[in-house]
Structure 1
C-alpha cells in the first residue's frame, strides 16, 4: 500500500522523510487489513480504535470511509481531524456514486424511511468499495466491515477476500439480534401482543420486547433491511465484538456455544474490547476540565447523551429542576432540541440557555454546577478524579467509557439498541440503575433528584460505585498481555 495522507478523498504522498520512515515500518509489518465503517461518527470512532489495536499487533491498516449521501462540511472536518490524530493509519474516502433521480421516494411516491435510505446508500457504495479493494488486493490480507455493512460481504466474496464483522456494541445485543429473525419468523401473535410480551432468548435475561429497537417491533418496509442484515451476519468468517468475556459472561457463552443462530453455524466470535478512546491531548485546557479541577474527588454527576441525544424543552426544564433540588454537583452537556421534521444529519444550533432552562437556574447553581453547550471532552471528563457518576444514554461507546472510568451509570436510553444496553448494564453487568420514565412521556424532576441523590449519597449508591471500580479493574486486566481480550485478538490474527 502506498503511504499517503487524505486530501479531497484521494491519496496524496506525504513528505519524503515521512514516506521513508512510514514505508520502512509498513515493510516490517506482515499483514494488511482494510476496515470499512458505516455512516456516522458513532461508527467511525470504534472502528478507529480497532485500527489502533491492529497497529499495536504489527498489522498495517487502511480505513475506507463511505461518503455520506449528503456530504456536509462536518464530514470532511471529522475525517480530517481523525486522520491527523492517527498518522499511522491510512484513511481513504470512497466517493459516492451519483444519485439517481428520486432516491428518497418509494414506488408509492411517499418518502422512504431514513433506515431504508441508509441501507440503499450502503448498497450503492459496494461499487466504489470493489474498485478500491481491487486496486489494492495484492496488499490486503483481510477485510473487516461494520455491523451494518454486511452487503459488503458480497464484494469480499467476489474478490475471494476473508471478511469479518466488527460488532461495536454489546455481546448481549449481538446474542439477541442474531435470534430475532427466527423469533420474528416464528411469531404466532399479533404485533401488538409481541410488543407487550416478555422474550427469553439464549444469551440474555428475560426482557420486555418493548426494549428492542423500535424498528424491530414494526412490520413495515424499514424492518426488512435490518432483519436481512441480522440474518447475513453468520455468513462472515468471524465476528469481532467490542466487549470482554467477564463483562458479559452469559452472552459470550451462548454465542460461543452456537445457541444464538438456530438454523445455521455461528462463525467464531472474538471478544476484543473494551476499545475506547484514550482522551487527553488538546482538551487539557477545556473550560469544564478546569472547573472539575476545583471540585472534590468523585463529587460531580456528569450528564451527556451522545452526538444525537436531544430533549424537548420541557424535559430540559425537568432535568434542571431535579439537579437543582438534588443539591449535588453536576456537569451537564446540553444540546438544542431537534424539531420532529429535522434530519438527524443536520447540525443543531448552540443551545440558548436563557430560553431552554428555568430563570435563575444558572445563578442559583453557580459554583456547584456547570452547563456546557453541545459538546465536552467526554473521556477526559469521565476519567477526571472529580467525576463520581455518569447519566448516560447507554450508547455502547459511552457505556464502555464509563466502565473504563469506574463510574456508576444512571441509565437513560433514547433510541436504537440503547434500551437493550440498559437491560445488560442494570441486570447483567450490575453497574447501573434505571432512570424511570425514559420510555414514557417524561423523566420527572422528582426522578432526576432522587436518582442523583441515591447514587451520590446512599449506601446503595456507594455499593454500586464499588462494583463499578471492580469492573474497571477487570476491563484493564482483559486488555493486558495474557488477558482474555488480548488472547482473543492474538487468536484472531492467526487465521
Structure 2
C-alpha cells in the first residue's frame, strides 16, 4: 500500500545561496522521515528567476535533488533596470522577488487546488496531481515575505525560512524599536547597537540595507521585519548550542510577541558544489601533498569582488606571510563588492590581475584558481588549517561543521554582522582592524601568520573545535536541531492526515 503524502510548499528568491539553504533543509526533512515513517513528505519549491533558471555551477545541485523535491522555476522578468543602478544586493533581490509575486500566487493556488489557475503554470499543476493536494504548510524565504499572505488566503500554515544567524534574526525582530531609538545614520551612532540576546555591535556592522535611512532598501527592510511577526513560526539556520542566548531572548515565552522560533541548523551543502572539473581535482590533489593544517583557504564566495588595489595587497600579504594558501574564485577587480553576485560571470584570464611575478614567486607556496571549487570538500581536507572568508552565512556554517577557524573579511549584505558574531561573540575568527579601508599587505601577513602559527590562532582553533562538536551534537538523532525538525514534521503530518 502506498504511503500517504504530506505536501510542503517552499518559496525561494533569485539568489543561489538562498536556494541552496532552503532546499538543503528540504533534503534533510525528507532524509529524516521518508524512509522511517508511515508518511512521505513531498516538497515543491517555487523559484523566481532573473535570467536562466540554472547556471553552469548551479545545475548540478538541482540535478542532484531527490525525486520527492520538485522545483518550479518561474519565467524570468526583465530586471535590466535593477541590475546596474548601484542598489544593494538585498534591494535587488527584494524588488525582483516582488515582481514575481503574481506568478507565485498562481502557482501556489494550482498546487493547493490541483487546478491550473489563469496565469498559473502547467508545471505546477502537473507536480500537484502527481503527488498530493494536501499542501499543509508554506515556507518562504526571509526575502519573499509578500508570499506569506498567500498562505492565509489558502488556509495553510505559513512559516519563514531565515537562512542567516539567530543574531541577525533578533536584530530584525527588534528593528522597529531600533528605528525609533536611533535617530541618526547607524554608522554615525556613537554607542554600540544593542541586540536582544547578542553582543552589541557598531552601527557600521549592521547590514547594508539599513545604512541609508532615506533609501528604498531601508524602507523595504523595515517593512520586511514587521512582516516577520505575523507568521506561524520562523525556521532559522542556526542551532541552540551556538546561539542559545539569542534564541531565548526572542522566544515568545519571554513575552516578546514574536512567533515561535525553530533552530534547525546547521544546514549546509551536502553536494560537492559546482560542475566537477579538472580544476577541482587539481586543487584537491594539491592539498593531498600539503602538511596537516598548513593551508589557508581563501574564498570570497560565488559573487564577492575586490578592488584592484585590494587584490594587490592581499596577494602580496599572502606572499609575505610565507604561509601556504589556496585562493579560489578569483574574479576581475571591481570597486563594488557584490559586482558578480547575480551574474556569477568569470573573465577569461582573471589571473592577469594579480601582481606581476606573484604566481612565479609563490609557485611552491600556494595555488590560485579563478574557478568554482568544491568548498565543503576543501574545508574538510586535513591540510586546511584556516579559512579567509567573506562571512556569508553558508560559508560560516560550513566552516563550523568542518571545524576550521576563520579570518573574517566581510564584503556586503549582512556579512559584517556575521563577522562581528564570529569574532567578538563566538570568538572563532580573527578580523582585520582596517575596517572598510584597504587592508595593507603587512597587516594581512601578520594576521595570516597569527592565525596559522600564533597563540591567538591556537586559541581560536580550540574554540572552533568545541563549536564543531556542538554542531555535530545538534544533528544527532536526539540532537536539538533534529528534534526540532521532528516536532515540525509531526505537526505537518498530522495536518496532512486530517485533510
Tell me how far apart the structure 1 counterparts of residues 456 and 340 of structure 2 sit (CA, whole Å).
41
Q: Secondary structure at the match of 1:148?
A: coil
Q: 2:129 maps to which residue?
A: none
Q: Secondary structure at the match of 1:389?
A: strand
Retained in 1: the 8 A contact 2:89–2:413? no
Question: Which of the numbers 67, 75, 87 marks the counterpart of 2:48?
Answer: 67
Retained in 1: the 8 A contact 2:5–2:42? no
Tell me how far apart the structure 2 counterparts of residues 252 and 48 of structure 1 sit (CA, whole Å).
23
Q: 1:9 maps to which residue?
A: none
Q: 1:462-473 counterparts in 2 under 5 A?
A: 462-473=458-469
Retained in 1: the 8 A contact 2:302–2:344? no
- Structure 1 residues 304 and 117: CA distance shift in structure 2, 3 A: closer
Q: 2:97 maps to which residue?
A: 122
Tell me how far apart the structure 2 counterparts of residues 403 and 435 of structure 1 sit (CA, whole Å).
20
- Structure 1 residues 63 and 342: CA distance shift in structure 2, 3 A: same
Retained in 1: the 8 A contact 2:252–2:259? no
Tell me how far apart the structure 2 counterparts of residues 192 and 125 of structure 1 sit (CA, whole Å).
31
Report the Cα offset of residue 75 of structure 1. Answer: 2.9
Tell me how far apart the structure 1 counterparts of residues 255 and 311 of structure 2 sit (CA, whole Å).
40
Retained in 1: the 8 A contact 2:407–2:429? yes
Report the Cα offset of residue 244 of structure 1. Answer: 0.8
Q: 2:206 maps to which residue?
A: 212
Q: 2:401 maps to which residue?
A: 404
- Structure 1 residues 179 and 289: CA distance shift in structure 2, 3 A: same
Q: 1:255-334 counterparts in 2 under 5 A?
A: 255-256=250-251, 265-280=257-272, 282=276, 286-333=281-328, 334=330
- Structure 1 residues 304 and 104: CA distance shift in structure 2, 3 A: closer
Retained in 2: the 8 A contact 1:239–1:268? yes
- Structure 1 residues 192 and 303: CA distance shift in structure 2, 3 A: closer
Tell me how far apart the structure 1 counterparts of residues 385 and 87 of structure 2 sit (CA, whole Å).
44
* Residue 364 of structure 2 is aligned to residue 367 of structure 1: yes
Report the Cα offset of residue 249 of structure 1. Answer: 1.9
- Structure 1 residues 33 and 368: CA distance shift in structure 2, 3 A: same
- Structure 1 residues 332 and 271: CA distance shift in structure 2, 3 A: same
Deviation readout 1:10-69 (Å, 9 max, x if unpaired): xxxxxxxxxxxxxx8xx4254221111111111111111111111022352334333324
Which deviates more from structure 2 when the two are superposed, residues 312-321 or residues 176-185? 176-185
Normalised TM-score (structure 1): 0.86
Report the Cα offset of residue 273 of structure 1. Answer: 0.7
Q: Secondary structure at the match of 1:31?
A: strand
Tell me how far apart the structure 2 counterparts of residues 342 and 322 of structure 1 sit (CA, whole Å).
24
Q: 2:116 maps to which residue?
A: none
Tell me how far apart the structure 1 counterparts of residues 168 and 155 of structure 2 sit (CA, whole Å).
30
Give the ranges of 4+ consecutive aligned residues of structure 1 lying more than 6 Å apart after TM superposition: 110-114
Structure 1 unmatched ranges of 5 or more? 1-23
Q: 1:88 maps to which residue?
A: 67
Q: 1:12 maps to which residue?
A: none
Tell me how far apart the structure 2 counterparts of residues 344 and 129 of structure 1 sit (CA, whole Å).
23
Tell me how far apart the structure 2 counterparts of residues 181 and 396 of structure 1 sit (CA, whole Å).
24
- Structure 1 residues 335 and 150: CA distance shift in structure 2, 3 A: same
- Structure 1 residues 487 and 377: CA distance shift in structure 2, 3 A: same
Deviation readout 1:357-404 (Å, 9 max, x if unpaired): 222211111122000113211111000010000001111000000011
Tell me how far apart the structure 2 counterparts of residues 283 and 473 of structure 1 sit (CA, whole Å).
32
Tell me how far apart the structure 2 counterparts of residues 118 and 229 of structure 1 sit (CA, whole Å).
13
Tell me how far apart the structure 1 counterparts of residues 239 and 45 of structure 2 sit (CA, whole Å).
26
Q: 1:18 maps to which residue?
A: none
- Structure 1 residues 242 and 33: CA distance shift in structure 2, 3 A: same
Tell me how far apart the structure 2 counterparts of residues 330 and 267 of structure 1 sit (CA, whole Å).
44
Deviation readout 1:57-85 (Å, 9 max, x if unpaired): 2352334333324x14x735566422311
Normalised TM-score (structure 2): 0.85
Q: 2:118 maps to which residue?
A: none
Alignment length (residue pairs): 458
Higher relative contact order (CA 8 A, sep 6+): 2
- Structure 1 residues 350 and 363: CA distance shift in structure 2, 3 A: same
Q: 1:443 maps to which residue?
A: 439
Tell me how far apart the structure 1 counterparts of residues 198 and 89 of structure 2 sit (CA, whole Å).
29
Q: 1:201 maps to which residue?
A: 195
- Structure 1 residues 420 and 115: CA distance shift in structure 2, 3 A: closer
Deviation readout 1:404-444 (Å, 9 max, x if unpaired): 1111111011111111111111122121111222x332011
Tell me how far apart the structure 2 counterparts of residues 112 and 328 of structure 1 sit (CA, whole Å).
37
Q: 2:387 maps to which residue?
A: 390
Retained in 1: the 8 A contact 2:272–2:375? no
* Residue 30 of structure 2 is aligned to residue 55 of structure 1: yes
Retained in 2: the 8 A contact 1:236–1:267? yes
- Structure 1 residues 444 and 421: CA distance shift in structure 2, 3 A: same
Retained in 2: the 8 A contact 1:338–1:348? no
Tell me how far apart the structure 1 counterparts of residues 77 and 200 of structure 2 sit (CA, whole Å).
46
